[in-house]
Amino acid sequence: MKHLVSPPRPDPALAHALLERLRPFRRTDLSGMAPHGPGLFSYCALTRERLASVRLPHPLLAVVLSGRKEIWRGLDQHCLGPGTLFALPAHVDMEIVNDPDPRSGVYQSLILEVTPEMWGVLPAPPAKSAMGPALPLSPALVEALLHAASAICAGPSAGPIRQARLAELLALLHPVPEASVLFDLPLAARIAQMVRARPELEWQADAVARALGLSPSTLRRRLRAGGESFAALLRRERMAVAARLLAQGLPSGMVAGAVGYASRAHFARAYRAEQGQNPASAPSVLSALAPEKPGQFVAT
């Protein structure tokens, strides 16, 4: 027997303020996705739609702007109205119904895809909550959400500001039990996220285990069960960061230090083993912008 779970109603004043300040994101005649910036988009529907067996690659943080959303997980049904902030997990089968507002004829949600690169290093999330996807609003959370959305829409030049705004938003959400799905990762992915945030540190398996609340033997056993080793994971994540830095045009000596290698020779060997080429051969995004001839530029 299916069970209707009534989500906590958002504070009316905060929900109204959130909807009003998100008005620039409204779409009235669009069906489907509308991108606003990296990881931020709207999803709209002009007719009632039922999406079966939805399985997300990354968790989502979203706000219903118009219409009503139904989320089915197993036998539980959650109904979310305008002004509701909610979180959806990755890698979980769900059934979703998007129901347009009867007056405007539009369903719309503003959606932020939450990836590990946004986090920095955070402690383990709180215990999972069975209360459902709706998140309680607070004035600080409303402001942080609006600041993050604005920074994402500001374009590439706002990269450092965008990262700071996203970190502020996720730090506010981290203690909220209903938001735990945003931070729920397998062990290898959590370690990878830690390394990507500070690749220059001298990472040791014992210290990482303590930071994650595990014994070193448990950490190694769980990594082995997933076909992973700490050393291989550490090298892979460091070299992925190195590839991005080299693509930005940084010299290999500087990149070696940025990912924790005092020796350029050791860095070059690790890079070749992981990326299949020498650091000096790594493609640079700057080369795509360089003129082929005076006055001519490569089309991008």
Do residues 263 and 256 touch, judged by C-beta distance below 8 A? yes
pLDDT at residue 140 is higher than 80: yes
**pLDDT for 44-90, tens place per residue?**
999 999 998 888 888 999 999 999 999 998 778 899 999 999 999 98
Class of domain 187-286: mainly alpha
CB count within 10 Å of CB 297 equals 11
pLDDT at residue 203 is higher than 70: yes
Residue 216, CA distances (Å) to 109, 122, 206, 210 in order: 43, 19, 5, 8
> Tokens standing for 135?
């998140």
pLDDT at residue 297 is higher than 50: no
Work out the mean pLDDT of the chain and round it to a whole number: 85
**How far apart, in whole angstroms, are the C-alpha atoms of residue 259 and residue 253?**
10
For residue 127, which of 56, 167, 183 has the smallest C-alpha distance?
Answer: 183
For residue 278, which of 239, 248, 241 has the smallest C-alpha distance?
Answer: 239
Please report, for the chain, the start and end positions of each structural domain, with discontinuous segments joined by +. Answer: 3-183, 187-286
Q: Which residues contact 43 (CB under 8 A, 6 or more apart)?
A: 32, 33, 34, 98, 108, 109, 111
Question: Which CATH code for domain 3-183?
Answer: 2.60.120.10
Q: Phi then psi for 245, rounded to 5 degrees?
A: -70, -40
